[in-house]
Amino acid sequence: MKIDVNKPRYVVPLILLPFLFIFFYIYKSTFDKQELPQAGNDSLQTGVADVSDQVREKALSGKLDAYRNQYRQADGYTAVGLIQEEETEKEMPRTLYNMRERQMLDSIDRAMKNRYSPAQEKGFPSATMHRASFDAEDRTMEEALARLSAPPISAPAEANKVSEDPMDLFRKQMALVDSMGKANDPDYQAEQQRRDLEREQLALTKSQPSLTVTKATEHTDGFNTVVPAKSESFISAIIDQNITGYVGSRLRIRLLEDIAAGSVPIKKGSYLYAQISGFTGQRVNLTITSAMIGEQILPINLEVYDHDGMRGLFVPASEFREFTKELGGNASQGITMQQMETDSQLAMSMVQKVFQSTSTAVSKMIRQNKAKIKYSTIVYLIDPQQLKTQF
């Protein structure tokens, strides 16, 4: 049988055989490396090494015998000796004189001091003469001893003060923190402004003279007719406009009867203007401080009372209104603008400041107290001074 070597089934295996050898060589040299066993990988070593012949043949001994054998050849000497205290050498001043010349110079110096010192009385040397012969070092020592023997100087008054109680200091610090927190609270600022305004108005009404306002009496020009006595009542009026008022808002009031401010009559149907002086709870306080009749401005002091006999107008509270006020105030305070990192940072900072000021103004407006006062509400006008002296 004749084999045709040129056929593909004989040629292709011959061509792929060298590549198979190369691939097998690379695989064996790279991936199929035999790992060498490593000692100590087991968690527990069951085998223990044998003891050496020297240890096996050595007899057992106690602790004291082993200590003695260990230091049997020691001589007890050490290379570290006793360390003495370090003595510093005193450096003597360099001089060209010997001891005899120095003593002579000292004698001459003392003779010169005694000669030119102030004259002393004859007799035994006094303490002053003895002190004059001292040198500068002796005088310094004497002054130090005098200061030590002198009575101690009393400490300043501040040092004698008893230290403050830590709890009192802590309370003061907490009060300061609370005051700083209240200074940033819009509600507290509004309440403080309301109190200041009421205080200013009260001081203004006390400082200004006011006319006494009463109901006008009816005089008859005819006969003296006997009529039943009428009981005194308060001045009645009616609110003549619808308004959503804030602190300081003006409200028009129309009189329902004739009154007299001092000696000036004010006819029924005349208009008086009240000012909202503040909010207390569910009340709106209204005050009338002046009235213009013709070309005259009359200083008066009237307060508006409601039918329940309490000062101010009754305005029912609304939980939804309080909720919307808090929600709007907090929302406007929480909105901020993030500055974009662009070349126009100056313009963006100006826009951000404008936005912050606007949001602050809106928050203040939302939190500001306001009340809706309706038309045709019957009220009473009362002079507080007359109310005090009535009973």
Q: pLDDT grade, residue 248 (50/70/90)? A: confident
Query: Per mean pLDDT, which range of 101-105, 147-151, 267-271 is the poorest?
Result: 147-151
Q: Please, which residues have CB within 8 angstroms of residue 251's CB and are 6 or more apart in sequence? A: 239, 241, 243, 245, 273, 274, 275, 276, 286, 373
Encode pLDDT of 77-101 as tens digits.
655 555 667 777 666 667 777 888 8
User: What are the tens digits of pLDDT across the range 178-225?
Assistant: 777 776 676 777 777 778 877 887 777 666 677 788 877 655 444 555
Higher pLDDT: 73 or 284? It is 284
Pick the range with the lowest mean pLDDT from 162-166, 177-181, 338-342: 338-342
Q: What is the 3-state secondary structure (H, E, C) of the chain?
A: CCCCCCCHHHHHHHHHHHHHHHHHHHHHHHCCCCCCCCCCCCCCCCCCCCCCHHHHHCCCCCHHHHHHHHCCCCCCCCCCCCCCCCCCCCCCCCCCCCHHHHHHHHHHHHHHHHHHCCCCCCCCCCHHHHHHCCCHHHHHHHHHHHHHHCCCCCCCHHHHCCCCCHHHHHHHHHHHHHHHHHHCCHHHHHHHHHHHHHHHHHHHHHHCCCECEEECCCCCCCCCCCCCCCCCCCEEEEECCCEEECCCCEEEEEECCCEEECCEEECCCCEEEEEEEEEECCEEEEEEEEEEECCEEEEEEEEEECCCCCEEEECCCCHHHHHHHHHHHHHHHHCCCCCCCCCCHHHHHHHHHHHHHHHHHHHHHHHCCCEEECCCCEEEEECHHHHHHCC
pLDDT at 237: 92
Confidence (pLDDT) at 103 = 84
User: Hey, how many other C-beta atoms are within 10 angstroms of the C-beta on 121?
Assistant: 9
Q: Is the pLDDT of residue 121 over 50?
A: no
On the question of pLDDT at 335 being above 50, the answer is no
Q: Give the distance between the most distant pair of CA atoms in the chain.
A: 172
- Burial environment of residue 276 by CB neighbours within 10 A (0 to 12, 13 to 18, 19 or more): buried
317 pLDDT exceeds 90? no
Domain boundaries, the chain: 177-207, 213-218+233-323+369-390
Predicted TM-score (pTM) of this structure: 0.42
Across the chain, mean pLDDT equals 73
pLDDT number for residue 170? 78
> Model confidence over 126-153: pLDDT tens digits?
544 444 445 565 676 667 666 655 655 5
Residue 4 is predicted with a pLDDT of 77
* CA–CA dist 270, 267 (Å, integer): 6
Percent of the chain with pLDDT over 70: 62
Q: Reply yes or no on domain 213-218+233-323+369-390 having CATH 2.40.128.260.
A: yes
pLDDT average, residue stretch 51-58 = 80
